[in-house]
Structure 1
């Protein structure tokens, strides 16, 4: 199953890479920050479907590069009256314990909840963010339907 998900993501990424460039102004529901734009997608989807949805919009499930950007993402969620349980683009689908971002950003900044990631029941390969008094990250079964945050480069 992990191989199938990875293959689908790679095909979509290759198609996107050859079909369009990331060059546009942030408008409508996209919030600018530095050289990227973010949007909250309230529709609950699996992690893979959320990534496909972001790709259709010319972006990716968001990566988180630093604490400043993480604060922007949190504001995007809260301004949209989001639930706080939200998919972002982190995953360890290809290799357990080796976390990656869908857009290829180096996985340097983290904000894991204490004790996470734990790969509970051997089936948690996708990253979501949530609030528990403060914002944390957790690994979760990729099939769980959640809202998401997409990002595009400007």
Structure 2
């Protein structure tokens, strides 16, 4: 499914790295970068429109792969939205089992997902 050339929703299980490669090869772009309420709402609406029956998670481009705790987007743009400091939304769920994310479980969590468990 697609919204006006902004985001594509691919419901195929793959790793974050594979999803990034898929975006590059299929669309000539990167995993989603979210810089505003408009971006966030567009991505959420695409997920809601998919009429998901079971819990699903969707990769977005935010990660701290290069340096733990230093968040950046796959396309190289600044992490300027998604924190209470920037006036955006708090990107980490505080509901249910999502409380305390990101927690870098086992020292090996570096990538961010939209998840249907918390309404995206």
- Pick the TM interval, shorter chain: 0.7 to 0.9
Q: TM-score, normalised by structure 1?
A: 0.62
Rounded Cα–Cα distance in structure 2 between residues aligned with 1:90 and 1:42: 19
Contact 1:31–1:76 at 8 Å: present in 2 too? yes
Q: Rg bigger for which structure?
A: 1
Which digits, 9 at most, give the CA deviation of each residue in 1:103-138, with x for residues without a partner? 112102112113221111111011111134443xxx
Sort the Cα spacing of 1:89 and 1:133 in 2 relative to 1 into closer, same or farther, 3 A.
closer
User: Where do 5+ consecutive residues of structure 1 fail to align?
Assistant: 1-28, 136-154
The 5 A counterparts of 1:134-149 are 134-135=119-120
Q: What whole-Å deviation, never above 9, does each CA across 1:61-81 have from its counterpart, x for those lacking one?
A: 001111221111011112123
Instruction: Report what 1:73 is aligned to.
Output: 43
Equivalenced residues, count:
104
Greater shift in the superposed pair: 83-92 or 49-58: 83-92
Taking structure 2 as the reference length, what is the TM-score of the superposition? 0.77
Determine if contact 2:63/2:71 at 8 Å carries over to the other structure.
yes
Name whichever structure is richer in strand by fraction: 1
* Number of the residue aligned with 1:51: 20
Query: What is the CA distance between 1:84 and its match in structure 2?
Result: 4.2
- Counterpart for residue 88 of structure 2: none
Looking at structure 2, the residues matched to 31 and 108 of structure 1 have their Cα atoms a distance apart, in angstroms, of: 23
Instruction: Tell me if 1:112 matches 2:82.
Output: no
Question: Which one has more relative contact order, counting CA pairs under 8 Å at least 6 apart?
Answer: 1
Please name the residue that 1:26 is paired with.
none
